[in-house]
Amino acid sequence: MTSRPRLRCLRKMKITATPVADEGIAHVVKHLHGLTEVGIGRNANITRVDLRSLSRLRRTPKEFLANCPALRLLNMSGLLRLATIRDLFLLDCGNLQSANLSHLSALKTIGDDFFFLCTALVSANLSFLNNVEEIGTAFLARCTALSAVDLSHMLSLKKIGDYAFYECTALIDVKFSKLSCLLEIGSGFMDECNALSMTARWDIAKLFSEVPRSVPKKV
């Protein structure tokens, strides 16, 4: 797995708001109805983010909300036009406990390092991601508090990148049913997930028998 990249601002607009009480940047983003792209990252003060008002957002920039160590709660519901989540989304947000991804019905592509190293994440609702076709490298990798994951609603999924769920050491239950469109699974898929139940291990083995797996690469 590649080392963590250097974070940098790649977009014209970057918001690093001074938090008001415990609202973080929520009081700022709720007024940004006209934005199509917005970048917020590397901010030690953000604790909560509510993006429901960004109804015109079609894709996130790279490093969106990456390295925000105090971030605990994220709500992305209502982003009905969001089609692409680019690389390093919520990279290394070690206090993030949950994320509401509901109603992302237009989402088709998820880039590399999605929630990578979010070590406090205990739940991620993927049930609305039924139009996602591809997920990149290190999808939910090293989320060491995550105990269950359900991919069965990702009906359009065709490709899973390398090291998805890598080193999710608390992961026990996994659901894969209905992944009839899946064509490729990257190397390192669920490697080092040593707490997996026997049922989950059987399901993974069955999945590998049905879908080509990439040749393993050196981590």
Q: What is the pLDDT of residues 169-204, one digit of tens each?
A: 999 999 987 888 999 999 999 999 999 999 999 999
pTM: 0.81
Going by pLDDT thresholds of 50, 70 and 90, the confidence category of residue 125 is confident
Of 65 and 112, the one with more pLDDT: 112
Q: How far apart are CA 5 and CA 176, in angstroms?
A: 31
**Which DSSP letter does residue 19 get?**
P
Q: What is the pLDDT of residues 7-20, one digit of tens each?
A: 332 232 233 333 33
Side by side, the strands of the sheet bearing 48-50 are: 48-50, 73-75, 98-100, 123-124
Q: Which residues pair with 135 in a beta bridge?
A: 110, 160
Q: What string of DSSP letters covers 43-84?
A: -TT--EEE-TT-TT--BPPTTTTTT-TT--EEE-TT-TT--E
